[in-house]
Amino acid sequence: MNSWRVTKYNPLHRNNEGSYLYDDWTSFHEVGKKVSLADYLKIEEAYIQAIVAFMNEMDISTVYIHALEFSSNEIQNQHASDFTSNLWIGKGISIEEVKELAKLTLREAVWCKLGIKNLFFAHFGYDYYMYIGAHSNCYGARESVESLGLYVEKFESPY
């Protein structure tokens, strides 16, 4: 299985230990403080489209929820109670549902791991890190993601 770290962070700005050297926003909660809403939404959409690009290249229309945690206050803030009430570990979800769940994860209302055993995964980490794995090399998806302004680095998911 191939595995990549997909982020907004330029790998040229990391030290030898891999730590990012610049003080950059790392959370939805920094909108209005360190990042404008418009800039945040642009990056958020790029992350969501990154998942879709990999799923499309692999001809995947459904993935499964392998891990799921809720932050009830944030779910209420995002007006997502109806959506999240229909989610559970093991449920298969469509690309449209993946988009919504990824958005809620990036906004810290939920945390999840998505995937299809031995074929594909999308994991979310702290500080706006995302990990994608695929059975194939997904050259087209990686190129597409980089054209969105994100960076795709070979990296094993810690999740």
Condensed to tens digits (0 to 9), the pLDDT of residues 46-91 reads 999 999 999 999 999 999 999 999 998 999 999 999 999 999 999 9
Report the amino acid identity of residue 20. Y
- In this prediction, residues 106-130 reach a mean pLDDT of 96
Q: What phi and psi values does residue 26 have, to the nearest 5 degrees?
A: -130, 5
Q: What's phi and psi for 93, nearest 5 deg?
A: -130, 150
How far is residue 59's CA from residue 45's CA, in Å, rounded to a whole number?
20
pTM (global) more than 0.85? yes
Contact 54, 123 (CB under 8 A): no
- Phi and psi angles of residue 5, each rounded to the nearest 5 degrees, phi first: -100, 125
What is the C-alpha to C-alpha distance for residues 109 and 15, in angstroms, rounded to an integer? 31
Q: State both tokens at 69.
A: 């945690």
Which single residue is written with the structure tokens 């795709």? 152
**DSSP designation for 86:** T
pLDDT at 145: 98
